Every structure is written in structure tokens, then in C-alpha cells.
Amino acid sequence: MKPQKENEKRPMKNAASIEVTRNGPYLVLGWVPLQKQIIIADSDGTATEWQPSIKYAPQEKILLCRCGQSKNKPFC
């Protein structure tokens, strides 16, 4: 086994990560569960809770839109 350099990135087993790409999407790695949630409001219109909605199939790599222009939201 070769020694690891101090600043060298070491892959972690089953680790998840999110990278904000320059002028692009969020790059999500690591089989992170992804689920849409809906805001539930009371009779006054005040948000009171989140309700689970659509569950997306797990993927090793996900590109999430952050510009709002995607026709395939939440994906880029």
C-alpha cells in the first residue's frame, strides 16, 4: 500500500458528496436518496410541515438544476 500524501483526496466507501459546479448544476455523488417534498400550510397560509411526495430512483451520480431553467426538474 502506498503512503497517502497530506493533500491527496482519499475515496471513502459509501461516502456521499455534493459539488457546486461553476455556472452549472449541483453534482451529487454516492447513491444519495432523493425525494420531492411539498410544503403543507395551515388555514392562514403559514407553512407548517413538509409532506413527502415523489421518490426518485437512486443513482450513483445526479446532476441537480440550480438555475431553474431545466425542463426535467429537479435534474439538469
Backbone angles phi, psi at 50, to 5 degrees: -105, 135
Task: Decide which of 30 and 9 is more confident.
Answer: 30
Buried/exposed 51-71: b ≥16 CB within 10 Å, e otherwise: eeeeeeeeeeebbebeeeeee
Looking at residue 10, its pLDDT comes to 57
Nearest 10 degrees: Cα torsion 58, 40, 67, 76 = 20
Looking at residue 12, its pLDDT comes to 58
- pLDDT one-digit tens code per residue, 15-71: 899 999 999 999 999 999 999 999 999 999 999 999 999 999 999 999 999 999 999
